[in-house]
A and B are shown apart, each in its own frame.
Chain A
Amino acid sequence: MLSIQSVCKEYSTKKILDNITFEVAQGDIFGLLGPNGAGKTTLIRIINQIIYPDSGKIYFNDKPIKQNDVAKMGYLPEERGLYKKMKASDLAIYLAKLKGLSSKDAFNEAKYWFEKFEIQTWWDLKVEELSKGMQQKLQFIVTVIHKPEFVILDEPFSGFDPLNAAMIKNEVLELNRKGTTFMLSTHRMETVEELCKNIVMLYNSKPVLNGSISDIRKQNRTNEYTITYTGNMPELPYGCQIISFKEDDEMKSSTISLTDNITTNSILAYLINHIEIHSLHEKTPTFNDIFIKTIKDTIHE
């Protein structure tokens, strides 16, 4: 769908993007992660052809990207707004026409979406008469009204109330099922874990993490396990450590960290003679942890 190859961009000798390469597969929901100032917005603007890279290539559907391709893309910017004085329907139709839809198609699509979101009563209202939540729905509509193949959402859920956010989330998943590819730029790691299949993470103008969510999780395993048990935990053999310990009325729970060559089976075989084990499960890192750890590691390098 989209292929970014060795893209560089600098402004007055400050590098914003430094040799960025990654691919977004057709049908993916792709996460573009990174802290503020990592270069996400610049990259998104380059994909939208608002600005151009100093070097490097971008391919859209296997061909070098060209100006007409913006008609096949939808973009929900982080800082977003609408014309306040326009009628909601006029605005939706206008923006659809700017993306190349005919007047008739634009009108029909606007109708379809207003019905789908059950907001037909806003058709003749001015944007400034809509509540903030209503404007957010409209904002989403104008992003996808022209049936784009590829949609970029920059912090799509910031500022949305939970109800609207859930609705938009469902809409994203539904469009994705129908074949729309998404690129999601966000700080919210829950969203990433919930929606994304693949991600790239930028830090200091460079990609520091790239791949599928599950692969990245595996790579970032800490080899830590939480055991719930009764009895008294002995000293651990083979250099393994107890990291934390909790106790309530019935049960004790400890988190232990295993050394590299020790399997869970061998540690269980040892512990089983000392304590009554109720459960053991791997303590998987959240994406939040991975995010922070990756940045810390990069700083230390």
Chain B
Amino acid sequence: MNKISHIISREFLTRVKSKQFLISTFLGPIFMSLIIFVPVLISKNSDNKQQILVLDSSGIFENKLKNGNQIEFIFSQDDLELLKDSIKNDEETGLLVIPKDFDIQNPKEITYIGSNALSMQAMNYVESSFEKEITNLRLKKSGVNQSFLDSLKTKVTINTLKFSESGEQSSNTGAASAVGYIGSILMYIFIILFGTMVMRGVVEEKSNRIIEIIISSVKPFELMMGKIIGIACVGLLQFALWIGITTVLYSVGINFFDMQGAATTQQVSDVAANQPQLTGEIMNAISTLNLPYLIGMFFFYFIGGYLLYSALFAAIGSAVDSESDTQQLVFPVTVPLLIGFMVSQIVVQNPNSDMAFWFSIIPLFSPVVMMVRLPFDPPIWQVALSAGLLILGFIGTVWISARIYRVGILIYGKKPTFKEIYKWMFYKL
């Protein structure tokens, strides 16, 4: 037992002291922050609105169409040809032509002219603007007065409530999806990252030929488990650092955006009012989730999934003489991970489907798929079943891998076939 602790500490220390660890520890959170903030930045920068000139010969819609987030209507009474010429070389601006004899009872013949076709979203917005206005006009025509029309305007946001033991809890589907989605991506990346780290470690020992010296001191199983546990510690330390650094970067980022929001207040009070609201909304949405539970479960599933896969990666490492030979053998191990990852993209849309259930129970897939389901609070028995099976799963793969590993590390030469590797499991040493 003492020996295994020496192995764990060597595996841990040599990696933690390395430059790569330092670099990835600091680049990781920057990368993650980028994933979070780039979409925000993009959505912010897209407020250079598309301008649409409106030539309303009928005069019905004059100054009645409301500007949207991305569309700005500019009414004009210039000559049609003149307007056409003016926008010919302008990619940003389009022209809407409403004919003189436009009939609100038979709304046709509105034409859009522009260098580029409008995006689906923009076209929807333009169309619904016209529809709203025409509805209003028709209602007015039938004798409904303006104040009654104003009172009809409503905006509906649906609050999602979920049944739970402590009564109904509010939840936020968007936040749950986002958190689940990010969780499954991270799980997938981390298992591959640290699993292949184990594999490279095994290959290094074998191609270095130090393996024979080590196993004349310790049992192969001790060496394999020492390596797996040592690298798990590296992974956990890295997580802890990542979570810490990301939190710092995130709060710095939020402050930065809030300050920007404050700065623009003087100029455009309308926009500024939305700024704190946006970040506030994100915080609110996330606060509806049980974050400590989710982070705790993430650690559990990472450890379980990592143990399960890293044992398999170790077995592959033991079977080859050099890293370049691992490519083909790694494939069958990464496929279930990849399937889990792809399934999780479907599951995120329907986290309580049969498919979601089964894939979050089977140990090969559960670490990745369960990440998507957890924010939606699946029944506790399902989580318990999945966790229990994951534990059995990694005990199984560790056992199988250890039997392959003890033979593989002694055999040099030709790259083995899967059939040969399978036979190794039954070798008597």
Which B residues are in CB contact (< 8 Å) with A75? 212-213, 216
Known contacts A51-B410, A84-B208, A97-B6, A142 near B429 by CB under 8 Å: no
13 CB < 8 A contacts A-B: A45-B410, A50-B216, A51-B429, A70-B216, A70-B217, A75-B216, A77-B216, A79-B212, A83-B14, A94-B10, A98-B214, A100-B2, A143-B213
Within 8 A of A (CB), among B408-429: 410, 412, 428-429
Does A189 touch B at the CB level, under 8 Å? no
Within 8 A of A (CB), among B270-313: none
Residue from the set B208, B210, B214 with the largest chain A CB neighbour count within 10 Å: B210
0/1 string, A64-83, CB within 8 A of B gives 1: 00010011010101011111
Which B residues are in CB contact (< 8 Å) with A95? 213-214, 217
Does B218 touch A at the CB level, under 8 Å? yes
How many residues on the B side are at the interface (Cβ–Cβ under 8 A)?
24
Q: Shortest 3 CB-CB distances between A and B: which pairs?
A: A81-B209, A81-B208, A98-B217
Which B residues are in CB contact (< 8 Å) with A143? 213
0/1 string, B213-232, CB within 8 A of A gives 1: 11111110000000000000
0/1 string, B34-49, CB within 8 A of A gives 1: 0000000000000000
Does B66 touch A at the CB level, under 8 Å? no
Q: Are A77 and B212 in contact (CB under 8 A)?
A: yes
Does A40 touch B at the CB level, under 8 Å? no
Which B residues are in CB contact (< 8 Å) with A94? 6, 10
0/1 string, A116-153, CB within 8 A of B gives 1: 00000000000000000000000000110000000000
0/1 string, B3-17, CB within 8 A of A gives 1: 100110010001000
Within 8 A of B (CB), among A76-105: 77, 79-86, 94-95, 97-100
Q: Are B209 and A52 in contact (CB under 8 A)?
A: no
7 new A-B contacts, CB < 8 A, other than A67-B219, A83-B204, are: A45-B410, A51-B429, A77-B209, A81-B210, A83-B14, A98-B7, A142-B213
Within 8 A of B (CB), among A184-207: none
Q: Are A98 and B212 in contact (CB under 8 A)?
A: no
Does B18 touch A at the CB level, under 8 Å? yes
Does A282 touch B at the CB level, under 8 Å? no
CB distance from B423 to the nearest CB of A (A): 9
B409 and chain A: residue at smallest CB distance: A50
B209 and chain A: residue at smallest CB distance: A81
Which B residues are in CB contact (< 8 Å) with A49? 216
Does A54 touch B at the CB level, under 8 Å? yes
Q: Are A80 and B213 in contact (CB under 8 A)?
A: yes
Q: Are A73 and B216 in contact (CB under 8 A)?
A: yes
The complex places the Cα of A105 from the Cα of B205 at a distance, in Å, of 25
Does A3 touch B at the CB level, under 8 Å? no
CB distance from A97 to the nearest CB of B (A): 5
The complex places the Cα of A51 from the Cα of B216 at a distance, in Å, of 10
Does A228 touch B at the CB level, under 8 Å? no
